Amino acid sequence: MKTFLNSAKVPLIAFVVLWVLGIFVNFSFNSYIQLILIYIMINMILAMSLNLVNGYTGQFSLGHAGFMASGAYTSAYLSTVIPMPAGAMQLPYFFALALAGGLVASVAGLLVGLPSLRLKGDYLAIVTLGFGEIIRVTLLNTDAVGGARGMYGIVGPTDWSLAGIPISRFMGGFTHALIWVLVCFFTIWRIIRSAHGRAFLSVREDEVAAESMGINTTRAKVLAFVLSSFFAGVAGAIFAHYANYLNPSSFTFMRSVDAVIMVVLGGMGSLSGSLLAAIFITVIPEALRPIQEMTGYDLRMVIYSLSLVLLMILRPQGLFGKYEITEALPWLQKFFKKSKATATTDGGAS
């Protein structure tokens, strides 16, 4: 029990703080801003999970959209089979659907990973890219999930009230997404700081040496890949139920590229970097809309691309490199240190 409290303390504090922030957004901003916030969170999960493969394990996957699609369609399809319960049971319902979506995606990850992770670098990128396209084209041709028309009217969080207090659709979706963002963050954060994570890192650094030191590198790579696809599937499920609409064209190659951009921009091997990059990549195109309205030209993508080029020239290692924000801000690290159980020998933050 004591260890459970210790392990759940920081995530719970983070949840409460961010949830209060969500209430603020709920009352202060319109549904457009709220939607962007949800998309930021979905992108955060995508970026963090891809970072596990591309950043920490040093493999190059370009098929993240495929895993996201598997999760999204699984969850959406299940919601047509199992009707949504009312009120308070909504959250566990969507949580369970996302879990199912994640599990299906991780099975897909296992099936792709086992044969293809023997390949390295560009070759692996091509194989994963191909896989992502296979998933998309399969969905495009499966009538049970709408084919090219996509799926309409997918159930999502609704407005309801708890003892007279109205709870909005946004708060339902936000709470659900927030839980998964935190689960994803703390899972990866803690795995990386365990023996499993050290195996991932050693594969990135030198596969031959890792193997000689007794690391089953195939297992490490597949584990990272499966975990990464799981969270991509979860992100897909959250997306499906908040957008209420799915179409295979949402999961094109460009979606995978977006995820890679977020990882590289934030820093390969930095979760804080992924979080920041997810915000940046989601917000910039939206924030540039007024410029389009003023000039009449669609300069958004030009500015967006230019800012990426500039960032990569000025900071090729990404915003954070391989470091976390706790390492840049010592007082934050102190906070983490205080609230954790491990003894003095622990080198990194919790």
CB 67 within 8 A of CB 109: yes
208 binds another protein (CB under 8 A): yes
Quick one: 32 exposed, middle or buried, by C-beta within 10 A (0-12, 13-18, 19+)?
A: exposed
Q: Could you identify the residue written with the tokens 């939206």?
A: 286
80 binds another protein (CB under 8 A): no
Backbone angles phi, psi at 217, to 5 degrees: -70, -35
Measure the CA–CA gap between 106 and 112, rounded to whole angstroms. Answer: 10
333 binds another protein (CB under 8 A): no
162 binds another protein (CB under 8 A): no
99 binds another protein (CB under 8 A): no
CB 131 within 8 A of CB 82: no
190 binds another protein (CB under 8 A): yes
Angle, vertex CA 174, rays to CA 62 and CA 23, nearest 5: 145
CB of 344 to another protein, least distance (A): 9
Element (H, E) at 161: strand 160-162
Binding segment (CB under 8 A) for another protein, from list 2-10, 41-49, 99-107, 173-181: 2-10
Which of 116, 202 has the CB closer to another protein? 202
Interface residue with another protein among 26, 138, 158, 217 (CB under 8 A) is 217
What is the residue type of 342?
A: T
Measure the CA–CA gap between 341 and 325, rounded to whole angstroms. Answer: 21
330 binds another protein (CB under 8 A): no
196 binds another protein (CB under 8 A): yes
Interface residue with another protein among 198, 261, 333, 349 (CB under 8 A) is 198
Q: Which residues contact 30 (CB under 8 A, 6 or more apart)?
A: none
12 binds another protein (CB under 8 A): no
247 binds another protein (CB under 8 A): no
- Binding site residues, another protein, CB under 8 A: 3-4, 6-7, 186-187, 190-191, 193-199, 201-202, 205-206, 208-217, 223, 322, 341-343, 345-347
